[in-house]
Amino acid sequence: MKRIKLIVILMILIIGIPSIVDAKLRVVVSYNYIADIVKKIGGEEVVVTPLSKGYKDPHYITPRPSFIAKMRKADLLIINGGQLEIGWIPPILKKANNPRINPGNKGFLDLFSFIEGIDIPKEISRAHGDVHPDGNPHFHLDPENILIVSKVIRDKLIDLNLSNKDIFTKRYKEFSEMWKKKIADWEMSLEKFSGKNVVQYHKNFDYFLKRFNLEQLGTLEPVPGIPPSTKHILEMIEIINNKGAEFIIHDVYHMKKPSRFVNRKTGVKLVVLPHDVGSVDEAIDIVSLFDEIVRRLLK
Ligand SMILES: [Zn+2]
């Protein structure tokens, strides 16, 4: 009898556990904020793997061999899109050779295609080294866009895993109701900055600024992805001195020297804002990411 029990236990260990793991949907995503939305809706029914770290420049992630292995096993690949991953996802996707997650197939999801973009050019071009040739790809920093993409992610999870439709639907409902309350809180907190001018280093926060009614005077980068020249910096200082500004917004990964210089010359507050989950210690999920952005602006 003991022997039979042992065999049963061994059978469960050998066959049972891998089959439970295998039943979960394997989702690979480019950025941490996408991973967190997938976790919030997919829960234990999915295994989600973000490829990049939150504190890196999202335009320039260095592809590692481990990314290929992760993509090879994936049922679903979710990208931000809008050319943000153009420099690093296509080569590893090709090497992974997993038809399930190729663009156009059921296991591929491009979030930008569901969003109303900002700065969409009439003609696509990378002229002057512009890293936003399809328009501004940093749409996830408008919390209203999080509502849109979390619904898209819910539908895709259901599409690939119909047996869990009810639980994905329930979690999305809970998440979206909580999120709408958070948006109302953030709007109330940021109301005092409505109509105020700001300057950014890179065009990370355009969607955020638009949502919360802040005016953008310009960026220290003359073109997205191009470091500032002395001439451009001096022009920006003159604009700030003429029009006045509330903040110079800088990200966590670019050198702060140009923004510090403008801060010294104008006296305008320099604020470093997180752009993704994991970009600063406080941003442990999508909710605390926005909480932290708002907290730093109010500080
Ligand atoms: Zn950018």
pLDDT digits (tens, 9 = 90+) for 21-52: 457 999 999 999 999 999 999 999 999 999 99
In a domain, 52, yes or no: yes
Ligand 1 centre to CA of 252 (Å) is 13
Ligand 1 centre to CA of 214 (Å) is 19
pLDDT at residue number 17: 47
The reply to whether 292 and 176 lie within a common domain is no
pLDDT at residue number 139: 98
In a domain, 29, yes or no: yes
Closest CA to 32 of 65, 71, 58: 58
pLDDT digits (tens, 9 = 90+) for 256-286: 999 999 999 999 999 999 999 999 999 999 9
Residues of the chain below pLDDT 70: 1-22, 124-128
In a domain, 245, yes or no: yes
In a domain, 108, yes or no: yes
Which domain covers residue 237, as residue numbers?
Answer: 194-298
pLDDT at residue number 167: 98
The reply to whether 143 and 237 lie within a common domain is no
Q: Domains in the chain: how many in total?
A: 2
The reply to whether 220 and 153 lie within a common domain is no
pLDDT at residue number 122: 78
Ligand 1 centre to CA of 171 (Å) is 31
The reply to whether 101 and 42 lie within a common domain is yes
The reply to whether 144 and 252 lie within a common domain is no
In a domain, 125, yes or no: no
The reply to whether 174 and 202 lie within a common domain is no
CATH classification of the domain holding 252:
3.40.50.1980
DSSP secondary structure string, 93-147?
HHHHT-GGGSTTSTTEEEGGGGS--BS--SS---GGG-S-BTBB--GGGSHHHHH
Ligand 1 centre to CA of 132 (Å) is 6
Ligand 1 centre to CA of 17 (Å) is 42
In a domain, 284, yes or no: yes
Ligand 1 centre to CA of 101 (Å) is 25
- Residue at a domain's end among 154, 184, 214: 184
In a domain, 201, yes or no: yes
In a domain, 261, yes or no: yes
pLDDT at residue number 6: 53
pLDDT at residue number 123: 74
Buried b (16+ CB within 10 A) or exposed e, 26-43: bbbbbbbbbbbbbbbbbe
The reply to whether 209 and 237 lie within a common domain is yes
The reply to whether 30 and 171 lie within a common domain is yes
Ligand 1 centre to CA of 296 (Å) is 21
- Residue at a domain's end among 184, 218, 238: 184
Q: What tokens appear for 210 in the block?
A: 């638009």
Ligand 1 centre to CA of 254 (Å) is 11
Q: Considering the entire predicted model, what is its pTM?
A: 0.91
Ligand 1 centre to CA of 206 (Å) is 10
Ligand 1 centre to CA of 25 (Å) is 30
pLDDT at residue number 4: 55
pLDDT at residue number 18: 43
pLDDT at residue number 125: 62
Ligand 1 centre to CA of 110 (Å) is 17
The reply to whether 230 and 147 lie within a common domain is no
The reply to whether 76 and 211 lie within a common domain is no
